[in-house]
Structure 1
Amino acid sequence: MLVKKAAAAKETSGPRETGSTRVYTELRHKILSMVLPPSAPLDEVGLGKRFQLSRSPIREALVRLASEGLVVTLQNRSTIVAPLDFRSVPEYLDALDLLQRATHRSAAICRSERDIEEIEATLRIYEKKVKLSFDDGDWLAIIEGNYDFHYRIAQAGRNQYFAGFYKRILEEGRRMLYFHNEFLFKSLGSTEARLNQDHREMVEAIRIQDADEAERLAYEHARQFKGDFLEYMERSITSKIRIAN
């Protein structure tokens, strides 16, 4: 009986977090929330002392972060948080607009019933994360929920190239979304209801396979983000952030 109870407890306790995963999770949160700013140095020895780990799990975590474009290794083999080059923002926003329209239009044409079920599931999770972000003021939850929602739509489009390029765009834009959300909610007074409504309308257009409407909504979504972000940049030139050379 004791053996069975011990086995059951082990099954319900879930997988144990490794040292590498712990480092990855904490650094990732701090990078996306801008606690660790662009170009900040990440010293393996210092991180090892801080987390009380050998350099091997530290390196594993940094490699994982590098695969997501969040850190880069320089020629001298030192590692830094990936810089943000705000001079390329207009190009980024143009690419986001084009790929968002293409992926969401394709999703409306090609989606299956299973796709709709999973998109709606990611929407429900997104709405919970919106509430969480509004409640505690940590925008990381909404950033992750937004990424999962839009990428799941892209997958429903059945075009691996569109989805792959769009995934890269979404990944590169996560830190921009941090600034966007700060400005959107604190300066422009946006609401949970408005954010949720935009995404619900997208899902409905995809569900009824109205490709023109899905593309229009995707365009409006990208256009609004572009306008808000550029207004943010005009109001506050980011003096605390080093512009990439």
Structure 2
Amino acid sequence: MSSDLSQSAQAYLRLEEEIVTLRLKPGEPVTEAGLTKRLGLGRTPIREAIQRLSWEGLLVIRPRLGIIVADMNPSDFLKVLEARHGLERLVAGLAARLAGKEERRTLEACAEDLREAAARSDVEDYLRHDKAFDDVVAEASCNPFATKALAPLQTQSRRFWYRHFGEEDLNPAAWSHLEVMRAVAAGDERAASEHADNLMLYLRRQATTLVSGPQ
């Protein structure tokens, strides 16, 4: 993880990854002191990360009872994607139109990193690059209201996907993501929105299969 990040940012990213990749399991109790020791960071950044992840729905703070990792209900995956769908179209289109040259180069690098992770079947690295791409697109879109609503939905999606689909072939999912990445990097606003729409439809089909079983 980059040393340029503040301790607060490092604490958030590392704790988020622990939850998304189920190293901290749904329903597992955690403490501020335990997380401080686990991640090797100060108590203040850990406390800030806990508060942020509680707001995002990944941790549950129970007064006088402690903190637990939020449970997972497969039917919630569909609700998350329903809320996420329109925002993804909007943000991808904005980023394609507004991204600067350096952001476009970064997006191209993210796409290549994600493709390589999929080829290696390295799901954790794949999700790491997916998040990096989401963060660059969020910055490039210049709409903090949309991206603040979207970010926790993306994190929830990664967690559901890791649990239920992480052992499947990564290449179909990677291809859907790569189409969005390349359109945004190329500055094609219409294609970026359309590919974001296709990505959401792909994920919603997966979620529907999860909830109802194969048809």
Task: Note whether the superposition's TM-score is higher than 0.5.
Answer: yes
Alpha-carbon distance in structure 2 between the residues aligned to 1:218 and 1:37: 30
Alpha-carbon distance in structure 1 between the residues aligned to 2:35 and 2:177: 41
Look up the match of 1:154.
Answer: 138
Alpha-carbon distance in structure 2 between the residues aligned to 1:94 and 1:52: 33
- Kindly provide the amino acid, as one letter, of the partner of residue 66 in structure 2: S
Alignment TM-score, normalising by the size of structure 2: 0.74
Look up the match of 2:123.
Answer: 139
Among 201, 223, 231, which residue is 2:201 paired with?
223
Q: Write the mapping of 1:33-112 to structure 2, written as runs, cut at 5 A.
A: 33-43=21-31, 47=34, 57=42, 60-68=45-53, 69=56, 70-109=58-97, 111-112=98-99
5+ residue gaps, structure 2, are: none
Alpha-carbon distance in structure 2 between the residues aligned to 1:217 and 1:41: 39
Alpha-carbon distance in structure 1 between the residues aligned to 2:144 and 2:173: 32
**CA 39–192 in structure 1, closer or farther in 2 if over 3 Å, else same:** closer
Alpha-carbon distance in structure 1 between the residues aligned to 2:122 and 2:195: 27
Alpha-carbon distance in structure 2 between the residues aligned to 1:43 and 1:197: 38
Look up the match of 1:194.
Answer: 175
Question: What secondary structure sits across from 1:73 in the alignment?
Answer: strand
1:52-82 deviations in whole A, cap 9, x for unaligned?
98xx945742541441333221122411112
**CA 37–146 in structure 1, closer or farther in 2 if over 3 Å, else same:** same
Among 122, 128, 134, which residue is 2:107 paired with?
122
Alignment TM-score, normalising by the size of structure 1: 0.66
Alpha-carbon distance in structure 1 between the residues aligned to 2:9 and 2:102: 30
Count of paired positions = 208
Among 184, 200, 203, which residue is 1:203 paired with?
184
**CA 48–65 in structure 1, closer or farther in 2 if over 3 Å, else same:** closer
Alpha-carbon distance in structure 2 between the residues aligned to 1:48 and 1:160: 29
Shift of 1:158: 2.4
Contact 1:21 1:61 survives alignment (8 Å) = no
1:164-205 deviations in whole A, cap 9, x for unaligned?
2122322332212313542542xxx6358735642444235x
Look up the match of 2:147.
Answer: 163
Alpha-carbon distance in structure 1 between the residues aligned to 2:165 and 2:39: 34
Alpha-carbon distance in structure 1 between the residues aligned to 2:39 and 2:131: 32
Contact 1:32 1:140 survives alignment (8 Å) = no
Look up the match of 1:3.
Answer: none
Shift of 1:223: 0.7
Question: What secondary structure sits across from 1:89 in the alignment?
Answer: helix
Question: What secondary structure sits across from 1:79 in the alignment?
Answer: strand
1:182 and 2:140 are equivalent in the alignment: no
Shift of 1:224: 0.7
Alpha-carbon distance in structure 1 between the residues aligned to 2:21 and 2:69: 12
Greater gyration radius: 1
5+ residue gaps, structure 1, are: 1-13, 237-245
Question: What secondary structure sits across from 1:173 in the alignment?
Answer: helix
The answer to which of 212-221 and 156-165 deviates more is: 156-165
The answer to which of 214-223 and 163-172 deviates more is: 163-172
**CA 173–234 in structure 1, closer or farther in 2 if over 3 Å, else same:** same
Shift of 1:93: 1.0
Contact 2:114 2:174 survives alignment (8 Å) = no
Contact 2:60 2:68 survives alignment (8 Å) = yes
